[in-house]
Chains A and B, each alone.
Chain A
Amino acid sequence: MTTLQEIRERYDFPDDDAIIAGLDNGATLPVEFYTAPEFHDLEQELIFSRTWQYACHESVLAKPGDYAVTKAGRTPIIITHGRDGQLHGMVNVCRHRLHSLAEENGNKPLLQCPYHGWTYDLNGQLKTAPRSNREPNFDCSTISLERVSVERWDQWVFVNPDPNARPLSEVIGEIKPRTDEINNDLREYEFKVRYEYDMACNWKIWAENAVECYHCPTLHKSSFGKSYDVGPDDYELASGDNTIYHKGPLKWIPGDVDLAGLKGFRFAFTFPSSFFALDDYVGFIGTIVPTTLNRSFAFVDMFAKPGADETVVKEWLDMWDRTLQEDEQATAIQQIGYESGRVRAGRLMLDSESPLQAFMKACHRSLIGGA
Chain B
Amino acid sequence: MSRVVADMTKCQGYANCVVTAPDHFDLGEDGKVRVLSQALADDQLTVVREAIDACPVAALRLEAP
Contact = CB atoms under 8 A, between A and B. Distances in A.
B58 to A, nearest CB: 14
Nearest to A140: B31
A131 interface: yes
Given A108-B19, A109-B18, A131 B12 contact: yes
Interface residues of A, number: 15
A117 B27 contact: no
Nearest to B11: A128
Interface string B7-50: 00000111110110010001100011000000000000000000
A117 B15 contact: yes
A184 interface: no
Given A109-B26, A119-B13, A128 B31 contact: yes
A112 B19 contact: yes
Contact of B14 (A65, A109, A130): A130
B7 to A, nearest CB: 15
Contact of B13 (A65, A109, A130): A130
A140 B15 CA distance: 14
B32 to A, nearest CB: 8
A65 B26 CA distance: 13
A132 interface: yes
A164 interface: no
Given A119-B18, A130-B56, A140-B31, 8 more contacts: A65-B22, A109-B19, A109-B26, A110-B15, A119-B13, A127-B15, A128-B13, A133-B12
18 contacts: A65-B22, A108-B22, A109-B22, A110-B15, A110-B18, A110-B19, A110-B27, A117-B14, A117-B15, A119-B13, A127-B15, A127-B27, A128-B13, A128-B14, A128-B15, A130-B12, A130-B56, A140-B31
The 8 tightest CB contacts between A and B, nearest first, are A128-B13, A128-B31, A119-B15, A109-B22, A112-B19, A117-B14, A130-B14, A127-B27
